[in-house]
Structures are given as structure tokens and as C-alpha cells.
């Protein structure tokens, strides 16, 4: 067996609508085709993408939304300054750092379910306004 790439992440939520709105607003993900499972949820697609990259399973209780051994999910992104401005405008806490040697910008923030999201930006992007 040889792994050739990442397929998707799955998160749990007790509020499907808030989760969908969050990922639409901050990552421009949209719901798309999903098999007719017997449980509520959504498959989210990146703009222009043909493969679901985030699966959402809904109908869970808040107490079931616990962090396990997976620490975060990471996506490649563009427009660091615009993304930081949007997070600030929505009052979301974030952590921004630049990787030593590589120079990649890493932007971390939490979704409404307390899942950590990482967005990685090209080192050539300018630092956002403070």
C-alpha cells in the first residue's frame, strides 16, 4: 500500500448551520454532493474543488465534541492579510507565526466546535497589518 495524499478531515458538531456558516465565511467552503447517510451532516468543498475535503457529522451533543489525538487540520490558503482582517472583524482569536527557515505563514484559529484550523500561506505574502 502506498498513501498518495490526504483525502479529507471529519469534524463533529452540535450545530450544523453555525458550522456551515463558519466554514463558508472563513474558508469559502460550500456543501456539495454527499451520500444519503442515515445521520445528519454535510460534505464541504473548496471553491472550484471537485472532492469534498471536510466532512461534518451533525446531531452530536456538546459533551461529545471532545479533542482526541488529532491536534488540528491544515489547508493551503491565499490572501493572508484579508484572512486576518476577516478574523479580526469577527472577533476571532488567532495565532500567526512564520516558520523559521521555510518562511511559511501559519495562521491558527478555532471553529465553533473547538476544532483547530491551520491555514498555510506562501512566504512571499506580506505580513498583515497589526
pLDDT (0 to 100) of residue 62? 86
Q: What is the average pLDDT value for the chain, to the nearest integer?
A: 93
pTM over 0.75: yes
- Domain of residue 116 covers 71-130
Q: Domain count of the chain?
A: 2
Confidence of residue 8 (pLDDT cuts 50, 70, 90): very high
Q: Which helix (H) or strand (E) holds 113?
A: none
Question: In the structure grid, which three cell numbers stand for residue 103, read together?
Answer: 518562511
Strand partners, 52: 45
Q: What is the CATH number of the domain that holds 123?
A: 3.10.180.10
The percent of residues in the chain predicted with pLDDT above 70, rounded, is 99
Q: Are residues 86 and 42 in the same domain?
A: no
Q: Are residues 40 and 84 in the same domain?
A: no
94 contacts 110 by C-beta, under 8 angstroms: no
pLDDT (0 to 100) of residue 25? 96
- Three-state secondary structure call for residue 97: strand
130, pLDDT greater than 90: no
Question: In the structure grid, which three cell numbers stand for residue 79, read together?
Answer: 490572501
- Rounded CA separation 66/48 (Å): 31
67, pLDDT greater than 80: no
- Rounded CA separation 2/100 (Å): 30
Q: Is residue 14 part of a domain?
A: yes
Confidence of residue 57 (pLDDT cuts 50, 70, 90): very high
Amino acid at each position: 500500500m502506498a498513501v498518495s495524499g490526504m483525502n479529507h478531515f471529519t469534524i463533529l458538531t452540535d450545530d450544523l448551520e453555525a458550522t456551515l456558516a463558519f466554514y463558508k465565511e472563513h474558508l469559502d467552503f460550500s456543501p456539495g454532493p454527499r451520500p444519503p447517510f442515515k445521520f445528519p451532516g454535510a460534505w464541504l468543498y473548496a471553491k472550484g474543488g471537485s472532492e469534498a475535503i471536510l466532512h461534518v457529522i451533525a446531531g452530536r451533543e456538546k459533551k461529545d465534541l471532545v479533542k482526541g489525538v488529532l491536534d488540528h487540520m491544515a489547508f493551503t490558503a491565499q490572501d493572508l492579510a484579508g484572512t486576518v482582517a476577516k478574523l479580526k472583524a469577527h472577533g476571532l482569536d488567532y495565532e500567526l507565526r512564520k516558520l523559521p527557515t521555510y518562511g511559511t505563514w501559519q495562521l491558527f484559529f478555532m471553529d465553533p466546535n473547538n476544532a483547530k484550523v491551520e491555514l498555510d500561506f506562501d512566504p512571499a505574502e506580506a505580513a498583515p497589518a497589526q
